[in-house]
Amino acid sequence: MKKPILGSHVGMSKANKHGEYLIGSVKEAISYHANTLMIYTGPPQNANRTATEKLHIEEFNQLLSENSINKDHLVVHAPYIINISNPVNQTTWDFGVDFLKQEIQRCEDIEIKILVLHPGARLKGDYTDALNALVKGLDQVASTQKNVIIALETMAGKGTEIGLSLNDFKYVLDHVKQPAKVAVCLDTCHMHDAGYDFNDWAAIKTEINNTIGKDKIICFHLNDSKNPLLAHKDRHENIGYGYIGFNNLLNVLWDEEYIDVPKVLETPYVEDKPPYKEEIENLFNKTFSKKVK
């Protein structure tokens, strides 16, 4: 069987201890023995961004090649400040569309094709109106996308989030003008907290096939959950220490139907240290032996 494509969120800043910007990102991923990675192009909570020409893209590409990391498997996560599902505040929606266009262009510059985006929240608006606002926003940015595909992330249902069910994503894909430019990122913690039971991964796969289709899943966020099924909390736990469990996450990672889909860890640091090297080793070896906590 093929080896899964597995990595984690890594830093991307001038201050990265492994090197400046994208150089440090690759070196950090290599230190975890990962074969993919996910970055933010700047702080996830604000709009501050460094010009892409300063990110060392050429050296980034060289390091990826030297370490046999396929660039097609890399992921960028859009910042949390984008909410194009907001149906009640035009200024917020306009800002989200504009900044998403900028993020898409940054991905095009770096040549990373997968851009994960939180669908957003309806706030005090109607749920269907929020889905329609998302559709409208995705249509607005589609002309900016040359190679980038936006992967809408499954959400836990915290507050007024949308994107809790696969039917939400089916609705979006059925209504956008260019569905080829939109896909889905499955976050295991979020799905668990929204009510999807990974004790029956086969049933979840059946629902995927009956709604959006397997080919629309272009990445996973592989996380355990600190809370029980249907908690709507969105609190990630380290692999094997939560309510989803090591074996259930192993089933997702090693599923032959999704073996070529990149999977990214976003599990919490333990005592201010990243757990990713141990978690990746456990998942690749299929053995819960390297203790994180």
Confidence at residue 98, expressed as pLDDT on a 0 to 100 scale: 97
Confidence at residue 129, expressed as pLDDT on a 0 to 100 scale: 97
Q: Which residues pair with 265 in a beta bridge?
A: 8, 222
Confidence at residue 6, expressed as pLDDT on a 0 to 100 scale: 98
State pLDDT tens for residues 2-30: 999 999 999 999 988 888 999 999 999 99
Confidence at residue 16, expressed as pLDDT on a 0 to 100 scale: 85
State pLDDT tens for residues 179-201: 999 999 999 999 999 999 999 99
Sequence-separated (6 or more) residues with CB below 8 Å from residue 281: 33, 290
Confidence at residue 1, expressed as pLDDT on a 0 to 100 scale: 79
Report the mean per-residue pLDDT for the chain: 97
pTM above 0.95, yes or no: yes
φ, ψ dihedrals at 33, nearest 5°: 60, 35
- Distance from C-alpha of 23 to C-alpha of 73, rounded to nearest angstrom: 17
Task: Show binding-site residues for Zn(2+).
Answer: 77, 118, 153, 187, 190, 221, 234, 236, 266
Examine the pLDDT at 94 and tell me if it is beyond 90: yes
State pLDDT tens for residues 252-279: 999 999 999 999 999 999 999 999 999 9
Confidence at residue 280, expressed as pLDDT on a 0 to 100 scale: 98
Q: Would you tell me how many other CB atoms lie within 10 Å of the CB of residue 128?
A: 12
Confidence at residue 281, expressed as pLDDT on a 0 to 100 scale: 97
Q: DSSP states of 179-234 as a string?
A: GGGEEEEEEHHHHHHHT--GGGHHHHHHHHHHHT-GGGEEEEEE-EESS-TT----
- Distance from C-alpha of 188 to C-alpha of 267, rounded to nearest angstrom: 11
Task: Show binding-site residues.
Answer: 77, 118, 153, 187, 190, 221, 234, 236, 266
The domain at 6-285 falls in which architecture? Alpha-Beta Barrel (3.20)
- Distance from C-alpha of 147 to C-alpha of 164, rounded to nearest angstrom: 27
State pLDDT tens for residues 39-93: 999 988 898 999 999 999 999 999 999 999 999 999 999 999 999 999 999 999 9
Q: DSSP states of 63-128 as a string?
A: HHHHTT--GGG-EEEPPTT--TT-SS-HHHHHHHHHHHHHHHHHHHHHT--EEEE---B-TTS-HH
Q: How far is CA 78 from the centre of its chain?
A: 9
Contact 149, 74 (CB under 8 A): no
Provide the Cα torsion 42, 47, 48, 51; round to 10°: 70
Q: DSSP states of 24-42 as a string?
A: HHHHHHHHTT-SEEEE-SS
